[in-house]
Each structure stands twice: as C-alpha cells, then as structure tokens.
Amino acid sequence: MAALGWLTPRRRSATARSVLAGEAAAEAARKTSRELAENPDTTAGTTVTADSAVTADTTGAADTTGTTTATDDGAAAAEPPFPVEGDDRAAAFFDLDNTVMQGAALFHFGRGLYKRKFFQRRDLARFAWQQTWFRLAGVEDPEHMQDVRESALSIVKGHRVSELMSIGEEIYDEYMADRIWPGTRALAQAHLDAGQKVWLVTAAPVETATIIARRLGLTGALGTVAESVDGVYTGRLVGEPLHGPAKAEAVRALAAAEGLDLERCAAYSDSHNDIPMLSLVGHPYAINPDTKLRRHARERDWRLRDYRTGRKAAKVGIPAAAGVGALAGGTAAAVAIHRRRR
C-alpha cells in the first residue's frame, strides 16, 4: 500500500537534513573551485563562446547581454544590460538536468556504470521504474526517495572516490559532451565574460557535477555529497540529495561564504522543483520550463528561454537521478560538517 502513497502530491520545505546537505554541498564546492583555480591546466574540453552558442536559441531571443529580449511567446521587451560587468557580488547558478544538459546527468552516468558492470540488469530495471514513476507523479515521496537512495548507495559502497572520478571523466566524453544546450551555455558564458562566478547546482554527485563544470569552464558545482572515509564510500549521504529546498539551502550557504548579494545574482532552471532556488535571487530564469514552472514564471514575470525544437525534450525523473546522485563522494570538508552536526 505504501506504493499508492507515491502518487499523492506533497510539498516539502527545508528540513535539518536539507540544510545539512546544502551546507555540505557549499563547502565541497568551495574546496573544489579552489583546486580548479590552483590547477587551471586540468580544465578539459572545448569552451563554447556566447557568440557561437546563442544561435541555438530557437525562439530568436538574444542572450542576456543584449538590450532587447524575447520571451517564450515572442513578445519583445526592453531590458537593462545584464549581467552587470564587473559586479563581483553577483554570481549565476545553473540547474544541470534539462537546463544545461539534455536529459539527466545521472541517467547518463548510470548508463556508463552499467556498461562497466557496476550493477546488474535487475537494478537497471528498478531504476527505470523509479524514473517512470516520477514522470507520472511529478513529485517526490519520502518512502520512494529512501528506496532510491538506498539502491544507489549500495552500488558504490566500498568503491574509491578516485575510481568514480576517473570513470566520470570517461562517461562525460561518452554520453554527456554532445548533450550540452548551446543556448544555455551562452548564458553561462555571458556571466563569465562579465567577470562573475558561475556554479552548477544539481542533485547529481558532486564529483560528476564538478567534472561537468570543469569541462565547461565554469567556476564549480554544488552537488549531492555522500560520505567517504579514507577515500572510500561508506554508503551514507551527508544530509540528503541536493534537490528542491536543499538546492536553495546550498545556494544560500555558498552566497554567505562568498559574500554574494543574492538580489544581484541569477538562477536558471527547467523544473518547478527548483522554485525555492529561483525565488532566492533577483534574476530568476525559466529555461526549457516544465508546465508548472512556465505558469509560475509567467505569474511572476520571470524571464523565459526555451532552446528545445519540435517535441519537448523528454524529462528524466529528478528523484531517481537524485537517488543515483548518492554516488556523490563525500569530501573531507563535508564529512567534517556531518560529524560536527552529530
């Protein structure tokens, strides 16, 4: 009977676990971004410039640096230049799945792990059901999330963080590199060109998210953090997957640590689950929005961009991706937070 409860929509606000997850993600993100800054030669992949990427915007909208922008229904409106050049108290936060990348990063990561025999066909079938459920229900249920989380954690328990990092690099090249939305990439580049930091914010593992951020030339990533001891996954999360309210808590924590003014920051997402994060900043954008987010954005006069052509891009279940997001490795900083809280 518990399965029937999965179909009951529920709203979830920030909890102690989501705050813990957000703080862990923020501390891990700052640590990895410092490492990237100290070792810039580790950045790989091809950087797509704003000039070349903006041609993928099928609505004909100019990028955010222009003085005129078009909404998703084609209505043009004058806007002041944005992002603001040299505003070091502003930053941009980008959701990953279906915002920066077509599909879910963890779905692609799971394909790579399956190819490398990390789990069996029966596990693949279970993940497929979990994603199908979310596409139908569109909401997360605590019991469902716990099942997803435990399934994913059991896959990587006992594996080394370095092993998953190395595999993640390979999987990015195999499945993800060609799935970046050029239009969204142009928006991120506009912030970078203005001298601002740009962060991914995702339920995907912090290691996977960091790989993607590095390949795109971004500042870093906020992602789901799982505990590791001596470089080995323990099978426990630090807090919970970075999803919904936890994302907002991560952005809030990072902004406080970086001295950012959230009213001057921007956030970009495709999902109504990220409304808490979008509502934190002064410049929220709905990118390839789902129906609920599109309606919410129109009601609040948020700006919209849609880079999809023809039929809408298939949505991959966020909770399922968040569950596999338990593959995230816990950095030493994140584990320290976890132990302090205990």
- Determine whether 123 is an active site residue: no
Q: Which of 57, 63, 97, 141 is catalytic?
A: 97
112-139 burial: b if 16+ Cβ within 10 Å, else e: bbbeeebbeeebeebbeebbebbeebbb
- Cβ–Cβ < 8 Å for 246, 149: no
User: Which H or E run contains 105?
Assistant: helix 105-115
- Cβ–Cβ < 8 Å for 184, 212: no
Q: Which long-range contacts (CB under 8 A, 24 or more apart) does 5-11 make?
A: 5/141, 5/143, 6/133, 6/137, 6/141, 6/143, 6/144, 7/136, 7/137, 8/141, 9/137, 9/138, 9/139, 10/139, 10/140, 10/141
- Going by C-alpha positions, the residue among 244, 34, 245 that lies closest to residue 138 is 244
- Determine whether 173 is an active site residue: no
Place of tokens 């993607």: 212
Q: Which long-range contacts (CB under 8 A, 24 or more apart) does 307-314 make?
A: 307/56, 307/57, 307/58, 307/59, 307/181, 307/182, 307/183, 307/184, 308/58, 309/58, 312/288, 313/98, 313/102, 313/103, 313/288, 314/103
Report d(CA 342, CA 335) in Å as an integer.
11
Amino acid at the residue 241: P
Q: Which of 63, 95, 147, 270 is catalytic?
A: 95
DSSP 254-304: HHHHHT--GGG-EEEES-GGGHHHHTTSSEEEEES--HHHHHHHHHTT-EE
User: Which H or E run contains 203?
Assistant: strand 197-205
- Cβ–Cβ < 8 Å for 330, 338: yes
Active site residues: 95, 97
